[in-house]
Amino acid sequence: MLNLSICLIVGDNYTQHCGVKDYASRLGKELETLGLSAKVLAPPDWSVRSFSRFCKELQLHHFDILHVHYPSIGTRRSLCPHVLGLRGASKRTVVTLHEYSSMPLVQRVSTHVFRWTADLLLFTTETELKSYGRSDVKQRVIRIGSSVPACQSDLPRSFTVLYFGQIRPEKGLEEFLELARRSVQLTRPFKYQVIGSVPQRRAAYYKAVRSQSVPQVEWLIDLSFEHVARFMASSFATYLPFPDGASYRRSSLLAALTNGLPAITTVGPATPREMIDILLPAPGPREALAHLERLYSSPGEAQAYSHAVRAFAEKFSWTRIARQHQEAYQETLALA
């Protein structure tokens, strides 16, 4: 069973910046280190004609598992991913529902088709699984890891505060920019950087929000993950004010923790108790600035947070994530 053949299905072949696609690609690489064969594939588009041709191509590969990662950029308006498990393109079909509770209502309802077309449903947190509800299909939680690698921990740290993530509404970027505005107005010693990517359909939002920020904010767009890691490992802290609170499904937060960056963030119902212990909770920019000022005046505390978050992030190594998937695949294939 070690030489399983896995196909990871994503939304398209050309989008450069999609968190789900990045996750699937990294998972594929890690599965191969365990001795599995893993390919990341997508049809040219999700029209019925292209989908039918794609299914025929998949059948030629004789994959053991088709692992659909839903949703990712490219699949939003199509129901074809939902019925992939009915096309006989593999022995078993596994579906990971990413950020189920954050999907638009219609799309969220559509995912319940997977109850009849998948052999296993994976979720990234227990909260997401509970939100989806019970089903006759086996369900399991496998937490995500950071697509950003860990950089060396002995880099000198500047007094830079980072925001990292895809630049789009409802991600807390406005609160970060308000923190920067307050800090500059009060002549605090911190620098501010926004590191991220801009989906094509969010170009107007990016232009508007950047034009409204104080000029002291530096914007770094489309950096490689290696460069992002280096910026994180050499910065002071990150402010990530998620509207619904920090949780294990926030890959930007995991990236910061992986690189020892003290994380100032919001806490919500989905924030695990063990995660609260290593976070710096802040309901808004005023409280976030207070955390920064305290860490600035207490270098020892800042260093202690850095060590603590790195140790916490080791729980979510990619080796562990890949092994959990391997076990899930094997158990699914063993189903009668």
**Which residues span the domain enclosing 215?**
160-316
What is the model's pLDDT at position 66?
97
- The pairing of beta strand 217-221 with beta strand 237-240: unpaired
Cβ burial, residue 44 (10 Å; 0-12/13-18/19+) = middle
What is the model's pLDDT at position 34?
94
CA dist., res. 254 & res. 22, Å (int): 14
- Is there a single domain that holds both residue 41 and residue 185? no
Last residue of a domain, one of 141, 176, 206: 141
**Which residue bears the tokens 């806490």?**
267
What is the model's pLDDT at position 77?
82
- Is there a single domain that holds both residue 100 and residue 53? yes
What is the model's pLDDT at position 185?
97
CA dist., res. 96 & res. 111, Å (int): 10
Q: At residue 116, what is the residue type?
A: W
- Is there a single domain that holds both residue 183 and residue 304? yes
- CATH number of residue 238's parent domain: 3.40.50.2000
What is the model's pLDDT at position 336?
54
What is the model's pLDDT at position 203?
94
**Which residue bears the tokens 């994180």?**
232
Residue 335 located in a structural domain: no
147-195 residue pLDDT tens: 898 887 778 899 999 999 989 998 999 999 999 999 999 999 999 999 9
Full pLDDT tens readout for the chain, 336 residues = 458 999 999 999 888 778 899 899 999 999 999 999 999 999 999 999 999 999 999 999 999 999 999 999 888 789 999 999 999 899 999 999 998 988 989 999 999 999 999 999 999 988 899 999 999 999 999 999 888 988 877 788 999 999 999 899 989 999 999 999 999 999 999 999 999 999 888 999 999 999 999 999 999 999 999 999 999 999 999 999 999 899 988 989 999 999 999 999 999 988 989 899 999 999 999 999 999 999 999 999 999 999 999 999 988 889 999 999 999 999 999 985
- Is there a single domain that holds both residue 91 and residue 125? yes
Residue 333 located in a structural domain: no
- Is there a single domain that holds both residue 247 and residue 126? no
Four-point Cα dihedral 29, 32, 36, 41, nearest 10: 30
